[in-house]
Amino acid sequence: MAKILNELSRTFSEYLLIPNLTERDNLAESVQFHTPVVRYRKESEPPPLTIHIPLTSAIMQAVSDDRMAIALARCGGLSFVFGSQPVESQADMVRRVKKYKAGIVVSDSNLTPDNTLADVLAMKARTGHSTIAVTDDGTPAGRLLGLVTSRDYRVSRTPPDARVGSFMTPFEHLVVGEEGTSLSEANDIIWDHKINQLPIVGPDQRLVGLVFRKDYEEHKENPDELLDADKRLMVGAGINSRDYRERVPALVEAGADVLCIDSSDGFSVWQKDTLEWIRSEYGDAVRCGAGNVVDAEGFRYLADAGADFVKVGIGGGSICITREQKGIGRGQASAVLEVAAARDEYFEKTGIYVPVCSDGGIVYDYHMTLALAMGADFLMLGRYFARFDESPTRKLMFNGTYVKEYWGEGSNRARNWQRYDDGGASGRLSFEEGVDSYVPYAGKLKDNLDATLSKVKATMCSCGARTLEEFRQKSRLVLVSSTSIVEGGAHDVIPKESDRHS
C-alpha cells in the first residue's frame, strides 16, 4: 500500500512569526535584500549572480514579457520571460531587455509617413507609448524622418485617415544626439532644450534609439537596478525539456543571464536530460534552474543533476489546479520548509549552496515574508505582478472595476504543452491544469513594490534581522488556530468604508 506521511500539508496562512528583540540598528534603511540566484561554493567564492530584491516574476504569458523584465530589473528584481512562444519571439524579448542599455531605448513604436492617425492610435493602445518614431521603412533602425507625440495631433480635429507625414514633427525640427553620445550627455541635452525625448541617430540618419526625460528621473529613483558587467539590465528566460536544443542557443545568443526549466512537476528524468545537455554544451557558462519539486528527494535529484537553483511548489498558484486535476502537490509552507532543510544539508555535505525559489502560494504580502523566513532564497510571483501596468495583458472594466487578464500556463489559452506534458510522444495538452481569470488592476509596479518591500523590511526589523540569511537564522514560527486567524484581522467593530489592500 502507499506510504503515508504523518505530517499535515500546511500553507503560509497557518503560520505567524514571533518577534525578536528589535535593536537600535534594526532600521528599515539598514535592511539588505541581496540574495544569490545560482549555485556557488559559499565558503570560498562570492555568488556569481545576485539579485537586489528577493523577487522574480513568473514564467507566464500573462506576466513576464520584455516590458515587465525591464520594469522589474530597474527595481532590482529579475523576470523570466515566458517560454510558451516561438523560440525567435522569446529571443527577441530578451534582446529588447538587453538593448535597454544605459537608458538608450530601442524604439518599439515605429511607423512610416504613409501610415495614418488610426495607426498611431492603434499602436499607442497596443504599446502604451505615446512617442512614435517615424522611419522610412517603419523599423526601429530605419532612417529617422520625424517623431509623433500626443502634442502633434488632436483626436477631435485630426481625421483618422490623415497621413502621419502631414502632422509629425519632421527631422529638421528635432533636437537629436549622434551615435556615441553618452547617457549623461544625452540627459544634459534634454534638460538644456527642455524636451521630453532625444533621438540618437547614426550614419545616414539611421535611428539608434531614444533617451527619455522620465527614464533619467526613474533611474535616480531606482538605485538598485539589476545590471550585468556591461551595464545592461539583467533578464532570465524560461525553457522546456523538449525543444531546449534549439531554444537554449537562441536565448544565450540573445543575452539571457539565467534560464529556468519550467514545469509543473520537475522531479523527472526529462529535466535531468536537459540540465546534462546544457552542461555538456556550455559548462558553467550558462546558468539554469529547475523545478518544480515539493520535497527533499526532488531537491537532491535536481541538485545532483546540476540545477543552479531549485524551484519549489506544485499546485499553490492562484490559477493552478494541478492538485485538483492530478491529485499531486503539497502545501507551500510544508514544501518550502522541507526543501530549504535539504538545501542546507546538501551544502553541509558538498560545500555547494543551491538557492531555493518558492513559487506559488502567496496571497498576502506577509506570505512573502513567511516564505523567506522559512528558507526561500527568493520568490517567484505570478498573480502579484499580473496586476500591474507593466504586465502584458489588457486592462478591462469588469463589474464596475478595472481588472487585468490572467491565465495559467496549463490553461487551454496558453496551450503550454511543454510545461505540462509527461514527456511522451503526443505533445499535446489533454487536460487543463490552469484557469483563465481576472485579477484586480493595481497600477504601477514600482509604487506597489515599494509598499510591499516596506512591509517585509518592517517585519525583518521586528525579528531583529538586517539580512535575509540572518532572518532565516533568527526566525521563530508558530502555528495558528482558525480562531486566532479571525482574531488577527479586524473584528468586533463596524468598519468604515475604505479601500483595503493586501
Write out the E strands in 157-233: 169-170, 177-178, 197-201, 207-212
Catalytic residues: 320, 419
CA 50 to chain centre: 15
- Specify whether the CB–CB gap between 163 and 113 falls below 8 A: yes
Which strands form 207-212's sheet, in the order they lie side by side? 177-178, 197-201, 207-212
Name the residue type at position 460. M
Instruction: State the maximum Cα–Cα separation within the chain, in Å, rounded to a whole number.
Output: 81
Helices (H), 65-174: 66-74, 87-98, 117-127, 164-167
Give the separation between CA 71 and CA 225, rounded to whole angstroms: 9
Give the separation between CA 109 and CA 381, rounded to whole angstroms: 29
- Specify whether the CB–CB gap between 173 and 124 falls below 8 A: no
- Specify whether the CB–CB gap between 293 and 279 falls below 8 A: no
Per the listing, cell 528589535 goes with: 22
Cell numbers for 241:
525539456
